[in-house]
Structure 1
């Protein structure tokens, strides 16, 4: 019976494109890391913030909590890079991506991308409003912040926007090299933005991991929906080549 069920599930969800496997791997990384922080903290001190605190304080000089480790230029660069997860930058990138899809006459893809990004942004705001966690105060913040801490809005929104855009744009491309490039850039940007939030002292590491996890789940869900819509002809497929099969490149 289990074999029959498993076979049915595999027939339903596979064969799937490699980009979905990348998202699943990233999601697993975020969830496992989050679980390890929680478990290690409980074992170490019975304090769910123990590992979070250790990481935050480890990024500052022991005798001067307001001074981050590393050369002076690094803190300036990190403060600049964290803007890649700001609402203004993410909206601008989304608009540019939608413009590209419209220019190449993929209007239904553009509509789906717009709906996916908008839905993700609404989810991010809802979670932050419900899960009100105070910002870390054990080290001075290097940038101004005002909202609650969990999950990290920059981390979650950058994962939602960059990963969702990369996957959906990759589904509009036939060339495997273009697909790999899009996914690699999206993952790099997502990791950079989340890491800067911890370095700047405005988020606990677990906030960032939770943001990455939710963003990856959202992007993976959008990928599955896009796959089904492409099968039904509701959104455009690549010009040539199968949507779900293995690429010949």
Structure 2
């Protein structure tokens, strides 16, 4: 039975009620979860599962078999009983930083149109995208333009399209190393800005803030040469 992914509809669900389907040292499966499972360059969530008489620190969250999600226990943590009612509580400060970082990478991608994304990694302290790009802009110009987009407070929304619609619009896919999550017959699109000419529009299964103003000031920390036409752009949340 697949795990219901509450974060897909509400990335701000800090705590939810759930029930334990199974519990093993490699991970606890719940019937529903607000924890994001590591994928697409975004780390898995951490937090805690609480039940009557106990709690388990969650060190990581990963994908399990048959569309389930495994909440990986911290070393030495007790496991909840099968069937137990639990409260799944995120390490919200970390998750929110990852949401801000993830959304800022979408903005970065919008500022380098036409260049394929060859890799990326989202982190709470710093994040990066690698571009197939021989001559990148300066880090100063990118920082200025990024913060203009942040200050614009553009709405961040999502919608679903069919696999066939995505196949008919291959330009929506910017990532060359990571393919959009498929297999269910539909693909989630994340849109920043209005319907007419969005700031960014591309397939993504991760978590994001509701509007770009929530990101706060960001800076391009460095741009590195990682190959003949591969440039790595690293972002940080400024002043934190």
Range into which the TM-score falls when normalised by the shorter chain: under 0.3
What is the TM-score of this pair, normalised by structure 1? 0.22
What is the TM-score of this pair, normalised by structure 2? 0.22
- Indicate the structure with greater helix content: 1
- By relative contact order (CA 8 Å, sep 6+), the higher-ranking structure is 1
